[in-house]
Structure 1
Amino acid sequence: MKRTLIRNGRVVTVDPALGDIDDCDILIVGDRIAEVRPAIDADADEVIDARDKIVIPGLVNAHLHTWQTGLRSIGSGWTGPDYHRIVHGNMGTRFLPDDNHVGTLLGALEQLSGGVTTIFDWCHDITSIDYAHRSIDALDEAGIRAVFGHGSAKPNAAPGELPFTHIPHPRERVEALRNGRLSSDDGLVTLAVAILGPQFSIPEVVEHDFRMVRDLGLPSSSHAARRPKDWVSPEGFHIPARLGLLDARHNVVHANYIGDEELKLIVDCGASVTVTANIEVHVHPMDPVSGRLLALGAMPSLGIDSVPLANSDFFNEMRLAMLYQRALDQRVAWRNGAPPPDRLPVPPRQVLEWATIGGARALCMEDRIGSLTPGKKADVVLIDGLALNMFPVHEPTFSTVQQANAANVDTVLVDGIVRKRGGKLVYADALLAQRRDELLRSVSRIIAESGYRSSAIGS
């Protein structure tokens, strides 16, 4: 097995037993972290110089619609209903399997380049198994760690057709993947199911989908971002909880409009909640639920969500989640007549935990990723501490969360394999140029076919 030695970094392990260690080495044997300590004396096939670098665990983006990468920022002026009408009701219906492939590939490469080593790829434009296979092909090609969330399309129903809210998740496609290329839970790409959930489906579909994932032994995730008057199943997550089907293998995304009692039910059942602050601040009047989760003793995870509307730099997502919750906590305290706080809420270390350990828990991978702990997978990120926006680095966690951006990521390892080195992706330049051309042709065709005019909306 290959032995890689990372030398003399400022290591932020995100492991409370190890803490932060200056001038620290990391020995990687094969795909695992073997040792984390200063002055490791070991033979190595490759030595990576981490002087003047901050070394952190790979970031975990727990919610990303990677297939939408080619529509980057097109929806910066959209409302939530605009997004559903234009993307799911129009543009998304025009994607072909190869469109999924190139969008997912460029999106996964972008996340890798930005220090994200694991994504939950929530793929919800699938109308045939070919869409899933081409998306998985892209994840394999990128070399990122990914949970592929098999979703279902949400087109507008034609007259006489059942709406998507009444259609159970297609079990046969999930079984084909589970019995085929994604049969293992130990691979770099693993399988989950992106189900509709109670806010987007009738009770019978809620029960079918939750029973299906339990039968197949798969993790699942569902959106929960509708205003209560629009919930298709007003009982919400009480339905799977009552049936004994809500547990730690389910991930709820957003949860802004969910009341305190139901949110406590979700947490008490062991389910995780992913906050996508950029999207939630963009299109929702209800606050991200980070603080409410903390009050319940739960740790949020973070996600980018939808690139047509959101900034896709995960460092930006960390900062926004931290700053919004800080502002919210201080406003509430002020209105309640409380004195100024002795210390700011949501310190940088806490939000870094959301972006690593929190994401690992949401993906049921805490035993494998999320911290630089010996025995875990070697998903490691080196950040350039000499960059002008980083230097000088006084406290590495503060600098990582408050100053860093994707351009500061110098080196990325996934499963012990270097995927970015010296600020450059390990991916052929000519092939990347070809993929860019493919993506541009793909989205140009989709936008033209949709008849979309940006001047008519939000500009």
Structure 2
Amino acid sequence: MKTLLTGGTVVSMDPAVGDLVRGDVLIDDGVIVGVAERIEAPDAEPIDATDRIVLPGFVDNHRHTWQTAFRGIGADWTFAEWASAMHGTLKPHYRPEDVYAGTLLGRLEALHSGVTTMLDWYHVAQTPEHEDAAVAALRDAPGRSVFCLGAGWGSPGPVDAAVRRVRADLTGDGPVTMALGLRGVEATGTDTVARELELAAELGLRTSLHVDIASGAVAHLREHGLLRDTTTFVHGNGLSDEELRMLADAGSSLSISPDVELKMGFGSPTTGRALAAGLRPTLSVDDVPSAGGDMFSTMRTAFAVQRGLDGGLRSRDLLAFTTIDAAASCGLATRTGSLTPGKDADIILLRADDLTVFPVTDPAATIVSAGHPGLVDTVLVAGRVVKRDGVLVDVDLAALRTRLVESRNRIAAAAGIPLDGTWRPEPASK
């Protein structure tokens, strides 16, 4: 089946293709086969992209969707309070059906706001049924997802059996693939990190690791030969410039969550320092109890902070961080992240006639400085239209909303916490 996007303003994120003030994109069997000013394809189903900006879908390489039911509850929390609340108070009361509801709504939210690829960093580990519920939710959402299985907050035990079990179910290169969430040297020790990296290599999995504080963890990993070009380090606000260069030398990736990092007290995002060290940063949402769930606000925060610090960055840098660079961090740069012939058709169409962005003179600058989820008119994943005319396709949102609210209310009641904005958790020790 062929589809032709016609008459849009194309921002390809591929230097070889460039940008087109007026362009067409031809899709055949889910793959981009042509990008040009005009393409004749009378046998293709047309999608009118007039007054739309056509660009690759966003890639979010670090989000904890199991927390979706508690959106906004942690806007005023520090990191220690968030850890205490989500992992100490609420998580013990999560049932598999709660994980499913939060994960599904969280993934649909991301799709709704133009995130065609998302790494779901799962650390609500309790039982195999919880893991299966998360995977089932990602499969039921029509997006490209990476299930990053972590061992759970503060859990020192072995993860081999769980990782192998889930990996046996997530083979191949389908819409839902797998990664391994490392726990880090501070949590489990050097030998355990080494074993988990060996396990990931054996199973062909990329890895992701949170490094929130100035612990010298990266230098320690390098000293023991444990830095990999398949690992994405998350946050890294406390990393020294030298440690950032170590990551660049190793070919590792860095995922920055600017809204959460600033609000929770991690410190300034490392965007500019990472670039100076030769490291291409990427951006991620992290969690919606504390921040918004769209990449527009994430880009804008990272952009404004770094411009305020040193005047560096250009708007197109931010688009690269959330498309082609983030795709590379997930091992998917050959499949998504740019409008390149031969790649899967993961494409979003943004309204250029909306009064909040009209008139669009510089598309990249407009997206970064003024973009918002309300602009996302159409979303395609591997050529399949999953959002059309601003509405998700074949999704019963009313039923899902009811299910998520019931899940939230049950967990809160079981945990004995109010939902009126008055609860302030006791901080957990780091």
Query: TM-score normalized by structure 2?
Result: 0.95
Cα displacement string for residues 311-333 of structure 1 (whole angstroms, at most 9, x for unaligned residues): 1121010111111111111xxxx
Q: Distance in 2 between matches of 1:145 and 1:199?
A: 32
Cα distance 1:284–1:380, how it changes in 2: closer, same or farther (>3 A)?
same
Instruction: Give me the CA root mean square deviation.
Output: 1.5
Shift of 1:259: 1.4
The residue correspondences of 1:138-153 to structure 2 (distance < 5 A) are 138-153=137-152
Shift of 1:243: 4.2
Residue 205 of structure 1 aligns to which amino acid in structure 2? T
Residue 211 of structure 1 aligns to which amino acid in structure 2? E
Residue 457 of structure 1 aligns to which amino acid in structure 2? R
Aligned position for 1:210? 197
Q: Distance in 1 between matches of 2:187 and 2:114?
A: 33
Aligned position for 2:303? 322
Residue 349 of structure 2 aligns to which amino acid in structure 1? L
Cα displacement string for residues 287-346 of structure 1 (whole angstroms, at most 9, x for unaligned residues): 1111111102221111000110011121010111111111111xxxxxxxxxxxxxx421
Shift of 1:45: 3.9
Q: Distance in 2 between matches of 1:105 and 1:37?
A: 36
Q: How many residues align?
A: 423
Q: Distance in 1 between matches of 2:371 and 2:191?
A: 46
Aligned position for 2:80? 81
Q: Distance in 2 between matches of 1:347 and 1:122?
A: 29
Aligned position for 1:295? 276
Query: TM-score normalized by structure 1?
Result: 0.89
Cα displacement string for residues 42-83 of structure 1 (whole angstroms, at most 9, x for unaligned residues): 134421000110011000011100111111000011111000
* 2:425 matches 1:451: no
Determine if contact 2:247/2:279 at 8 Å carries over to the other structure: no
Shift of 1:26: 0.2
The residue correspondences of 1:173-212 to structure 2 (distance < 5 A) are 173-179=162-168, 181-184=169-172, 186-212=173-199
SS at 1:237 equivalent? helix
* 2:224 matches 1:225: no
Residue 263 of structure 2 aligns to which amino acid in structure 1? H
Aligned position for 1:388? 355
Matched-pair identity in %: 38
Q: Distance in 1 between matches of 2:317 and 2:41?
A: 33
SS at 1:90 equivalent? helix
* 2:339 matches 1:372: yes
Shift of 1:427: 2.5
Structure 1: 5+ residue stretches without partners: 155-162, 229-234, 330-343
SS at 2:24 equivalent? strand
Residue 415 of structure 2 aligns to which amino acid in structure 1? S
Shift of 1:282: 0.5
* 2:224 matches 1:237: no
Shift of 1:206: 2.0
Runs (4 or more) in structure 1 with deviation over 4 Å come to none
Shift of 1:227: 4.6
Determine if contact 1:418/1:426 at 8 Å carries over to the other structure: yes
* 2:273 matches 1:273: no
* 2:36 matches 1:37: yes
* 2:406 matches 1:441: yes
Residue 183 of structure 1 aligns to which amino acid in structure 2? T
Q: Distance in 2 between matches of 1:153 and 1:8?
A: 48
SS at 2:345 equivalent? coil
Q: Distance in 1 between matches of 2:2 and 2:184?
A: 44
